[in-house]
Amino acid sequence: MVLNLLNPKSFLLPVFFIAVFANSVKAQDPYQSYRQDWLKKAEDNKPKLIETEKQPVSLVRLEKDPAAFQGWKAINTDSVGKLYNTSFKTQSGVVVDFGEHLTGYFTFSIKSLKGTPDGPARLKFTFGEVPSEVAVPFDPYKGTLSRAWLQDETVTVTEMPADITIPRRVACRFVKIELLGASPNFDFHISSMVFKATSSVAFKPPLLAATTPKLIADIDRVGLATLKECMQTVYEDGPKRDRRLWIGDLYLESLANQFSYQNNQLTRRCLYLLAGLSADDGVLLANVFENPEPHAQAGSRLLDYCLLYGVALKEYVAATDDKQTGLDLWPVAKKQLDIIRKYAGQDGMIDYQKAGKEWWVFFDWKDGLDKQACLQGLSIYALNQTYALAKLLGKENEVDDIPSLARKLKAAAYKNLYDPKSGLFVSGVNKQISYGSQAWMILSGVASKQEAQTALKALSTVKDAVHPGAPYMFHYYIAALIESGLKVEAKEALQNYWGGMVKKGADTFWEVYDPNDELKSPYNFYPVNSYCHAWSCTPVYFIRKYPEIFQR
Amino acid sequence: MVLNLLNPKSFLLPVFFIAVFANSVKAQDPYQSYRQDWLKKAEDNKPKLIETEKQPVSLVRLEKDPAAFQGWKAINTDSVGKLYNTSFKTQSGVVVDFGEHLTGYFTFSIKSLKGTPDGPARLKFTFGEVPSEVAVPFDPYKGTLSRAWLQDETVTVTEMPADITIPRRVACRFVKIELLGASPNFDFHISSMVFKATSSVAFKPPLLAATTPKLIADIDRVGLATLKECMQTVYEDGPKRDRRLWIGDLYLESLANQFSYQNNQLTRRCLYLLAGLSADDGVLLANVFENPEPHAQAGSRLLDYCLLYGVALKEYVAATDDKQTGLDLWPVAKKQLDIIRKYAGQDGMIDYQKAGKEWWVFFDWKDGLDKQACLQGLSIYALNQTYALAKLLGKENEVDDIPSLARKLKAAAYKNLYDPKSGLFVSGVNKQISYGSQAWMILSGVASKQEAQTALKALSTVKDAVHPGAPYMFHYYIAALIESGLKVEAKEALQNYWGGMVKKGADTFWEVYDPNDELKSPYNFYPVNSYCHAWSCTPVYFIRKYPEIFQR
């Protein structure tokens, strides 16, 4: 996910926000005495990456096929030995398949076959997570993100034999290799390749029940791969792009991790890192970078992500009983609730009109989604979850206004957003009906179980209901189905959506997936989408947390 | 200079040659007991490169100008500070001028100016020795040499701030920097640049006499720069291309070095290296590479270069009195004379028909040059010079057939190649008249001083006389003028030819220079020509060896 600062509104956000919080900003950094300790703990918990050497498994040919995902199919043609044993001059354009998604560093060996190398060679390597990335021309580039995210690297080989590592970390399954220049006076071959794959995941999680349906098992496998690839020295949002820690991704990744790899150290590190790098008015910044040294993206104030931090911390403490971390970071979770207090009106409604002007409110990649109901629901959810955290830590006395505030917001939501006639929750002045609104009204407990079931079932009958735009929102939809007791529907929705990716050949789950528009891209060029994206890994969480629903 | 193995004839050369020398090849390596020692001495004499940090001096704009060399003029526009202090997004395509030719490693620093870097940047650097290289598009590439010689490198900058060094060694004065991709969400600048220039030259040579004409002083300066840039850990032919040691270039570079930088260690190293890497039948290979470990270009048997090795060794021993090196390498110089013995007919003429089929005979980049007279002349010259070497070393007894063989070849040359009517030497069945033929007939002493003067003066009256194609042959032409006592003409020719390059803005002398065809290229694409080329540095030798001709 990328903050679009070109959007004039989001450019103004920091200014607005600073103005609004001006007194507190300049008054004092509420975490002044903690930050150094938090950042040290983040560093102390940095996992040592596990490196695994991987070999390609075959050569493939890219073929146009309207039935294949995005129209491109990789067809196994030869063993890699054919490449290794043949002059590369006859192999330009070859595509190597590593058989799985990998994140790390690519090394190739190049050697003279005949004659003495008397000039450099120029090779272009294109790394692709999915077939289209090694089939579709990148230029002229029309995407809205940096062209440099696309993983094509040109290398000048000045001497042979040589072992050359592409300096940039790449994420891929496929590698296309093209010859852009060579001396006519000698012949050479690529004699070996190795991919040093990295992840902080050390072991395989337990097997699923033997009764697990094949498709669910496949979804779990792909979800685990997605999560493993994103688990580097932080929970990355995507190892190809944007390679950094976002609060929203952390939340979903840490849920999935808790039910699979159980790398608590990584969750702990990320929670401390985000806290240590929060703004000096105490508000969390939505995303942080590790290099050259840990730092946050200035101005990335994302309302819903701020609220999810406390939820993530609560889940972490509940799962690990690591109260020390909980107590250390409690001031941060607590502080974010001020955002809710600020926008909560006398009527119990969050003033979305105002909040939406002053903040980036995300929830989903979906043009036109009205976020009033989502925000109202998340606010209630965050209040309740953060209060549950307070109870775990014995800190209820510090937030004793929360239960009544949560009740007030809940009552207002029911009053203002529930349409008893249709049995659906509506959002905004146009009373928009969306999957997101239902999901958050259900997760927040605004809907009773019966109302929840009614609303979710009614959704499919509403012609212009706003569907989830990306797997991130789909997570909350599945969670709402489970929360409502719609087990069969939850399983079916998960199978349809993530199973759809699996059936289309996904090795890892995609950042963006619209079953009806495989070329959808929030960035105006689908090859720049991330095809291994943290927020898409949550079937792992659902399948493993609810074996009674999914594993039979 | 590049051996064109695509030429079907040159492809066959090694086969022919091996067949001809088959008995001796398989019999025994004549240097078996010496090679290891020679290579060790080559390594022991490897100079430590002197590194100098250079800063760019200005920004320039490339402008089309029919009056400028190759039609491109670099116009000084701004100080480099403008680049350093401005968003690079507004500077794409900027050309930086280092003010002089440099060889080494380019480093740039890149920093955020506004906002947090949230995506990689993609930059393209194009390094040019002359303006056209940073103005003319390289693709679609139609040259016959590897496209990879052209110095354009694309870099993905994944983090900022960063100091990034282009891994490839480059040779340039100009650097064009283009932005191929960046995130719209932050701004950045190139905050500094530094070029770590390398050379094995440690000091400046003595000043020329105060009486030296300006143009001659300029030619000397450019020649010195050319030589310095080519003097790395071997005498390279060109630091941009081909970056290796050729016997012919070594010969001319060591002559110029002897009268300027006097780095005898480098000459010694190169002589040992060539000896140690000669073919196992005792024949020298024309060019060698230092990396990954010292090795020769298999099959690069170049007849005229084999013969020049003894000449270069003689000049080295005469200049340094380093008899030990002379004695060590004497077997190699002596062995090359077998080539002359083999092709010398009963009539005293070298059988060029046969030799030309079995060898690469070079002499010049000039289509259509008949090389019979050149080869006859060089053979005589090499016999005499190698015999002079034998005398310096007290080894005459080992080559006592040489003086009479030289006399025989000389007499035959005079008889068969001199046309008393025209006063010119002719070559081949078509009795071609060329500068090269006259030069080699004079240097070999076939022509008397009077005949030499007549021939050289007559040249300009012959309408279709074959002119030198490149500075390499021009060297021998100047040497012949001096040898003939045509001092004024020598000075004039040197001023016209090398002075022509100076007047066209040369910082270093070019591999190829035809005053009437600035786009001439033996490789079908002039930007791939080398514009700092060893064999063009010899004005340094002439100007400093003959002050009475050039320095007044």
Question: What is the arithmetic mean of pLDDT over A462-491?
Answer: 97
pLDDT band of B276, cuts 50, 70, 90:
very high
* Cβ atoms of A64 and A145 closer than 8 Å: no
Question: What is the arithmetic mean of pLDDT over B422-441?
Answer: 98
A266/B39 Cα distance (integer angstroms): 55
Contact between A118 and B297 using a beta-carbon 8 Å cutoff = yes
pLDDT, tens digit (0-9, with 9 covering 90-100), for B357-387: 999 999 999 999 999 999 999 999 999 999 9
* Cβ atoms of A311 and A382 closer than 8 Å: yes
pLDDT surpassing 60 at residue B527? yes
If we measure between CA atoms, which residue out of A153, A131, A154, A151 comes closest to residue A70?
A131
A249/A251 Cα distance (integer angstroms): 5
CA distances (Å), B139 to each of B179, B203, B512, in order? 18, 40, 22
Interface confidence, given as ipTM, is 0.93
**Local structure of A483: helix, strand or coil:** helix
A243/A261 Cα distance (integer angstroms): 20
Q: Which two tokens stand for residue B279?
A: 């073919």
Q: How high is the pLDDT of residue B28?
A: 87
Q: How high is the pLDDT of residue B13?
A: 38
Disruptive mutation site among B2, B118, B287 for chain A (greatest number of A CBs within 10 Å):
B118
Q: How high is the pLDDT of residue B41?
A: 98
Q: What's the angle, vertex CA A36, arms to CA A31 and CA A41, rounded to 5? A: 110
Q: What phi, psi does A205 have (nearest 5°)?
A: -75, 170
* Cβ atoms of B169 and B101 closer than 8 Å: no
pLDDT surpassing 90 at residue A23? no
If we measure between CA atoms, which residue out of B112, B183, B88, B90 comes closest to residue A4?
B183
* Cβ atoms of A278 and A294 closer than 8 Å: no
B246/B231 Cα distance (integer angstroms): 13
**Local structure of B483: helix, strand or coil:** helix
pLDDT band of B26, cuts 50, 70, 90:
low
pLDDT surpassing 90 at residue A24? no
* Cβ atoms of B394 and B420 closer than 8 Å: no
pLDDT band of B298, cuts 50, 70, 90:
confident
The mean of the pLDDT values for chain A is 94
Looking at the complex, does the CB of residue A162 fall below 8 Å from at least one CB of chain B? yes
* Cβ atoms of B104 and B51 closer than 8 Å: yes
Contact between A186 and B295 using a beta-carbon 8 Å cutoff = no
pLDDT, tens digit (0-9, with 9 covering 90-100), for A246-263: 999 999 999 999 999 999
Question: What is the arithmetic mean of pLDDT over B126-138?
Answer: 98
**B321 backbone φψ class: left, alpha, beta (φ>0; ψ -120 to 50):** left
Contacts of B185 in chain A (CB under 8 A): 2-6
* Cβ atoms of B508 and B101 closer than 8 Å: yes
pLDDT band of A20, cuts 50, 70, 90:
very low
Of B118, B154, B181, the CB nearest to A154: B154
* Cβ atoms of A435 and A468 closer than 8 Å: yes
Q: What percent of chain A has pLDDT over 90?
A: 94
pLDDT surpassing 80 at residue A141? yes
Contacts of A183 in chain B (CB under 8 A): 2, 145-146
The mean of the pLDDT values for chain B is 94
Task: Please give the residue that has the higher pLDDT: either A202 or A31.
Answer: A31
Question: What is the arithmetic mean of pLDDT over B121-132?
Answer: 98
Domains identified in chain A and CATH numbers:
8-49+201-550 (1.50.10.10), 50-199 (2.60.120.260)
Contact between B156 and A145 using a beta-carbon 8 Å cutoff = no
* Cβ atoms of B345 and B351 closer than 8 Å: yes
If we measure between CA atoms, which residue out of A248, A214, A326 comes closest to residue A536?
A248
pLDDT surpassing 60 at residue B73? yes
Q: How high is the pLDDT of residue B27?
A: 63
pLDDT surpassing 80 at residue A9? no
Q: How high is the pLDDT of residue B1?
A: 57
B14/B475 Cα distance (integer angstroms): 29
Cis peptide before A131 (omega within 30 of 0): no
If we measure between CA atoms, which residue out of A134, A131, A233, A102 comes closest to residue A508?
A102
DSSP state of A419: E
pLDDT, tens digit (0-9, with 9 covering 90-100), for A329-386: 999 999 999 999 999 999 999 999 999 999 999 999 999 999 999 999 999 999 999 9
DSSP state of B100: E
pLDDT, tens digit (0-9, with 9 covering 90-100), for B146-171: 999 999 999 999 999 999 999 999 99
Question: What is the arithmetic mean of pLDDT over A445-457?
Answer: 98
Number of Cβ atoms within 10 Å of the Cβ of A303: 29
pLDDT, tens digit (0-9, with 9 covering 90-100), for B386-407: 999 999 999 999 999 999 999 9
Separation of first and last alpha carbons in chain A? 34
DSSP state of B358: H
Q: How high is the pLDDT of residue A14?
A: 40
From chain A residues 253-292, the ones with a CB under 8 A of any chain B CB are 287, 289, 291-292
Number of Cβ atoms within 10 Å of the Cβ of A297: 25
Q: How high is the pLDDT of residue A28?
A: 87
Contact between B119 and A292 using a beta-carbon 8 Å cutoff = no
DSSP state of A49: P
Q: How many beta-carbon pairs under 8 angstroms link A with B?
A: 143
Contacts of A12 (CB under 8 A, 6+ apart): none
pTM of the model: 0.94
Contact between B242 and A118 using a beta-carbon 8 Å cutoff = yes
pLDDT band of B286, cuts 50, 70, 90:
very high
B485/A231 Cα distance (integer angstroms): 80
pLDDT band of A16, cuts 50, 70, 90:
very low
**Local structure of A154: helix, strand or coil:** strand
A393-427 burial code (b ≥16 CB/10 A, e <16): bebeeebeebeebbebbbebbbeebbeeeebbbbb
Q: How high is the pLDDT of residue B19?
A: 40
Q: What distance lies between CA B290 and its chain's CA centroid?
A: 17
Contact between A3 and B119 using a beta-carbon 8 Å cutoff = no
